[in-house]
A and B are shown apart, each in its own frame.
With several copies, the nearest count.
Chain A
Amino acid sequence: MQPKPTALKMLDVFSVLALAVATYLALVFAPTELVMGDVQRVFYFHIGTAWVGLLGFIIAAGSGIVYLVTKDMKWDRFEVAAVEVSIMFFLITIVLGSIWARPAWNTWWTWDPRLTTAAVTELIYIAYFMLRQGMDDPEKRARFGAVYTLLGGVSAPITFMVIRLFRSIHPVVIGAANANQEKMSMTGDMRVAFFFALFAFTVIFIDLIWHRIRLGSLEEKVEQLKLKVSM
């Protein structure tokens, strides 16, 4: 087994640092939000994870397409890595969201567009893994996986659009803010914390995907060896 590339080692260290700093900025540096108080500090991680989560799903759909065109297994590994990591982050988003929702809307959950979309999206990618689990031929697994990520990638935004038909209590900072929604006003320090959180999670995201891809190729090697053993 080839040793861990130094670049990856460095990235590991770096992402740990980034996380530490982001945590500090979120929990200590950023001022307490007036309306909601300290819970609002969840916000920085909430968005951070949500951002990389969505990013990963888009990447997955992209590499799925590339796989279908090139039929090169490495794109399949890339796709799996992206989905796996994103599913995890997105789960964190939802959990943090719920934690935040408890005081903010005094309920764990409401069926507002973004929440519902988040849930549906999560389900889509869980289904993705169940689909893959059902096949033994790796080549077929890759093909079907790619097709499904494509479908999911297209369907999720439409879902979001659709559910927008209902009224929403989920605040919107990004994109068109409807009049009826109170907009959280971010002070400069908050912005710093906010954007650094985004940055930090992006770094961690890349780091994890890298690891996952390496794992994937190692798994393949193990398979090869096992095949030799059984011969």
Chain B
Amino acid sequence: MISVKKLVKRFGLKVILRGLDFHVEPGEFVALLGPNGAGKTTFLRILASLSRPTMGEVNIAGHKLPHEAAQVRARLGVVSHQPLLYPDLTAEENLRFYARMYGIENQDERITDVLEMVGLNARRRDLVGAFSRGMQQRLAIGRAVLHDPDVVLFDEPYTGLDQDASEMLDEVLRSVAAKGRTVVMTSHDLARAEDLATRFDILSRGVIATSARREDFKGTNLLDFYKKALEA
């Protein structure tokens, strides 16, 4: 579903991604872990076609970036730690706007479905500005899956949420993944990642240092695995 070959990203002279290879099968839920500044956000932004690779091949859902960006965008949903929502619009209006931008037909049903899914149907007519960070983040996820994308990217979806919000978010994330979608999520929260993901890739020194399936580590837990990967 996602295949990245020899990806290099440079900011000025600083090389962030050094020939990174990354492959995801349809339906996988990949947790992209790594220390601060490893380049996780940078990598996701490239996958999202928000930032251009300096070198290398990026191929998502059978389309090459950056040339076929439009097709990729149509099949991609992105959730970053910013909500990408307009505070002066209601939840419904926000979704309607994005529905228009994605050219979705029979919008009303779709919007209602999504609001149901993220549990905000009751608040659909309230201003997003009045929402708590948690509700905003849930709505942001609704926004990201509105056009029923095959691939969803999450960049630290838990940042700035309070605790209950984070727990609600878990369920939403699960239901997003449940639909057989391909998910890539960065997070610092090993505990959460361990619950959610089916695969754990560790980005370190600009490449994927190690990759492991959940079933791979028995006995040991994610933290040990993570530390080993970094020492290696």
Direct contact of A and B (CB under 8 A): yes
Report the interface size class on chain B.
Answer: 10 to 19
CB distance from A133 to the nearest CB of B (A): 11
Cβ-defined partner of B12 (8 Å) among A139, A229, A230, A231:
A139
Q: Is the CB of A230 within 8 A of B132?
A: yes
Q: Is the CB of B13 within 8 A of A224?
A: yes
Chain B residues whose C-beta falls within 8 Å of the C-beta of A139 in the assembled complex: 11-12
Q: Is the CB of A223 within 8 A of B13?
A: yes
Determine the main DSSP class of A at the interface with B: helix
Closest to B129 in A: A136
Bound: A220/B13 CA distance, A? 9
0/1 per residue, B76-99, Cβ < 8 Å to A?
000000000000000000000000
Chain B residues whose C-beta falls within 8 Å of the C-beta of A223 in the assembled complex: 12-13
Is B123's CB within 8 Å of the partner chain A? yes
CB distance from A188 to the nearest CB of B (A): 55
Give the total number of A-B pairs whose CB atoms are below 8 A apart: 23
Q: Is the CB of B130 within 8 A of A226?
A: yes
Cβ-defined partner of A138 (8 Å) among B12, B122, B123, B132:
B12
Is A1's CB within 8 Å of the partner chain B? no
Cβ-defined partner of B123 (8 Å) among A137, A229, A231:
A229
Chain B residues whose C-beta falls within 8 Å of the C-beta of A138 in the assembled complex: 12
Is B135's CB within 8 Å of the partner chain A? yes
Chain A residues whose C-beta falls within 8 Å of the C-beta of B228 in the assembled complex: none
Chain A residues whose C-beta falls within 8 Å of the C-beta of B130 in the assembled complex: 226
Bound: A99/B123 CA distance, A? 46
CB distance from A114 to the nearest CB of B (A): 38
Q: Is the CB of A230 within 8 A of B131?
A: yes
Chain A residues whose C-beta falls within 8 Å of the C-beta of B11 in the assembled complex: 137, 139
Q: Is the CB of B122 within 8 A of A229?
A: yes
For window 111-162 of chain A, which residues contact chain B by CB distance below 8 Å? Answer: 136-139
Chain A residues whose C-beta falls within 8 Å of the C-beta of B123 in the assembled complex: 229-230
CB distance from A230 to the nearest CB of B (A): 5
Is B14's CB within 8 Å of the partner chain A? yes
Bound: A136/B127 CA distance, A? 13
Spell out B's residues near A (CB within 8 Å).
11-14, 122-123, 126, 129-132, 134-135, 164
Identify 23 residue pairs between A and B in the complex whose beta-carbon atoms are under 8 Å apart, listed by A's number. A136-B129, A137-B11, A137-B12, A138-B12, A139-B11, A139-B12, A220-B13, A223-B12, A223-B13, A224-B13, A226-B126, A226-B130, A227-B13, A227-B14, A227-B132, A229-B122, A229-B123, A230-B123, A230-B131, A230-B132, A230-B134, A230-B135, A231-B164
Spell out A's residues near B (CB within 8 Å).
136-139, 220, 223-224, 226-227, 229-231
